Amino acid sequence: MYALFKHIETHKLLNKVFLFLFISLLPAAYAQQCKCKYPIALSQSNVYGNSLSIKGGDTVCIESGLRNYLRLENFHGDSLNYIVFKNCGGDVIVENENELPNYGIVLLNCSFFRFTGSGHSASKYGIKILKTQTGASGLSIDKLSTNFEVDHIEIANTGFAGIISISQPTCDETSNRGNFIQRNVSFHDNYIHNTKGEGMYIGHSFYTGHTKLCNNVSTVLYPHEIHGLRVFNNLVDSCGWDGIQVGCAYSDCEIYGNTITNYGVANITSQRSGIQIGAGTAGKCYNNAILKGNGTGISVFGIGNNLFFNNIIYSAGEIGNLNDDSNGYGIFCDDRSTLKGSSFNFINNTIIGPKSDGIRIYSNQTKHNRIYNNIILSPGSNGNYNNNAQSYVFYNSDVDLDISNNYFSRTLPQNFSEFCLLDIYNFTSTLPIFFKGKDVSELGVVFDFNNTKRPTGVNPDIGAFQYLPDLQYFDSNLYIYPNPNSGKFMIASKEKLESQKITIFTTNGMKIYEKNILENNALFVNLPNNFKKGYYILSIDSTNKRRNFPLIIN
């Protein structure tokens, strides 16, 4: 009996030793698996790069599993070799809600790094910050951090913003304008939803000065500028305040390809825009889809020389207070930090059903502002003004503004799906917008929302989508696109088609398809599925003549 007891105790001791060695070696195993220079174990919450031999080009792995928070400080790569922080072995999950630091993950005084959730092929968003306490943001980047990339992170249920990236101005002025510039920053392919504050809060809100007590003296501090900012391909949904807010991005700023839905759900005045271009910001904002929210689609308080194009804004202000239309514009623009003599440009946007005006601009400091090639449908303020045109574009007489080649209509499409880009594409294809735009290639608008080339040989289409690319005509006015095709094609004309019907013949003259057509700029043809591949003759009959063209189905 004693021998048996001794054997059991020895076995238990061996198990404990094995478990200890397994746990001890686990970070090393992760490091080898994910090709890491340094692994951050679940037991580590505070990691300081200056105490480690981490340099540019190294990879730091964050062990998968549930943790309360993570603080990373004093990591510095170089301009040619970023330090890469990534998840390893699965998803990193951060949750906290009780008297912990006011963040989920924070990076302080870090430069030349990439923070990415793309470390495991099984998960698109391999780093997930899923809950933070009241007032706490999900991911915070501060203390002179610069030259970084953040991607493939999911953030939800935060006590404040999803992402907040600001080096706050300080009384010693180390992070203030004139002493620090944040450079070359990008946020892309992230999923942010159900936040109490902004989805993304990038740069300071008070470019013109922030008052703070310094040695008991009220002092105006000026926040740093951002030079080189990219915010793209992010999904932002159900944020309490603005979807994406950018401030102090003084040069080389581009915000594009983002989808923002159900923004401003807390319905706080001045905190409920889909995108807010804050004071001190210049650059481009394009190809964004901003769908349903409590406030204005895009609010513009930039310095001027801002270009907004190919944005789709649907139902701005729709879910807000029914008695408050003061913040339900498609686009709103004013002079909070405008450089005198600069300009604002709103080109090829599609704005559908804003609660108030389509575009409202109060900028008398600028010159040569342009509103070209926009579709604006059914603004809610229609009928509120003596001049109905003001509901589409509202501006004061002292605004220097050129309005040209837009399509305005009270028509509001019905039965759209909830988030309706395909519906918008299909509906706007029925409008008389083909070839009706102004050539704006000199402004850099040479593609559409789908990155289809805008034509150079003829005028572009109005709105965010380009339906008629620059192709060779079969005659002076008419072409078929695409050709060859799979049985779905478009017949398009510079002028309205005056045809009565189209007919398709086989090469031996047998008629196999016929369709009557209405007068329009374009006709979309969808042949039956059993249509055989091959070479055909397409005839277009007008009142006075028949024109025959080759048609190839492949």
Q: Which amino acid is at 390?
A: Q
- Quote the pLDDT of residue 22: 38
Give alpha helix (H) positions in 407-464: 421-428
In whole angstroms, give the CA distance from residue 102 to residue 140: 9
- 0.85 exceeded by pTM: no
Q: For Cα atoms 155, 451, 248, give the angle at the middle one, nearest 5 degrees.
A: 50
List, edge to edge, every strand of the sheet that includes 331-334: 46-48, 70-73, 103-108, 137-142, 163-165, 200-202, 244-246, 275-277, 298-300, 331-334, 359-362, 393-395
Q: Is 441 exposed, middle or buried (0-12, 13-18, 19+ CB in 10 A)?
A: exposed
Burial 444-454 (b: 16+ CB within 10 A, else e): ebebbbeeeeb
Whether 378 and 413 have beta carbons less than 8 Å apart is answered as no
DSSP 443: G
pLDDT score recorded for residue 547: 77
User: Is 47 within 8 Å of 20 (Cβ atoms)?
Assistant: no
Of 459, 456, 453, the closest CA to residue 436 belongs to 459
DSSP assignment of 471-483 equals ---SSSSEEEESS
Q: What is the pLDDT of residue 276?
A: 98
- Strands 407-409 and 210-214 come out as unpaired
Token readout for 424 is 């918008």
Q: How far apart are CA 177 and CA 531, in angstroms?
A: 66
Task: Please give the structure tokens belonging to residue 365.
Answer: 């400091």
DSSP characters for 135-185?
T-EEEEEESS-EEEEEESEEEES-BS-SEEE-----TT-TTBTTT-EEEEE
Contact 525, 489 (CB under 8 A): yes
CA distance 250 to 130: 32
Distance CA 436, CA 429 (A): 13
Strand partners, 253: 229
Give the span between the Cα atoms of 393 and 254, in whole angstroms: 25
Q: What is the pLDDT along the chain (554 residues), one digit of tens a residue?
A: 445 444 445 444 444 434 333 334 445 565 667 889 999 999 999 999 999 999 999 999 999 999 999 999 999 999 999 999 999 999 999 999 877 788 999 999 999 999 999 999 889 999 999 999 999 999 999 999 999 999 999 999 999 999 999 999 999 999 999 999 999 999 999 999 999 999 999 999 999 998 999 999 999 999 999 999 999 999 999 999 999 999 999 999 999 999 999 999 999 988 999 999 999 999 999 999 999 999 999 999 999 999 999 999 999 997 555 455 567 999 999 998 999 999 999 999 999 999 999 999 999 999 999 999 999 999 999 889 989 999 999 999 999 999 999 999 998 877 777 668 888 988 888 888 888 899 999 999 999 999 988 876 678 999 999 986 554 445 556 778 777 788 888 777 766 656 578 889 886 778 898 888 655 666 778 888 888 887 788 888 776 677 777 787 87
Query: What is the predicted pLDDT for the residue at 474?
Result: 52
SS3 of residue 209 by DSSP: coil
- CA-based angle 438:413:480, to the nearest 5? 50
Determine the Cα–Cα distance for residues 240 and 389; give it in Å rounded to an integer.
33
Q: Rounded distance, CA 144 to CA 107, Å?
A: 10
Is-contact 245 298, C-beta < 8 A? no
What torsion do the CA atoms of 390, 393, 394, 398 make, to the nearest 10 degrees? -110
Instruction: Write down the pLDDT at residue 215.
Output: 94
Residue 248 · residue 224 · CB < 8 Å: yes
Give the separation between CA 349 and CA 405, rounded to whole angstroms: 12
Residue at token pair 């964004």: 288
Q: What is the DSSP string of 12-68?
A: HHHHHHHHHHHHHHHHHHHHHHTT-SEEE-TT--EEEGGGTT--TT-EEEEEEEEES
Q: What is the pLDDT of residue 445?
A: 96
pLDDT at position 20: 37
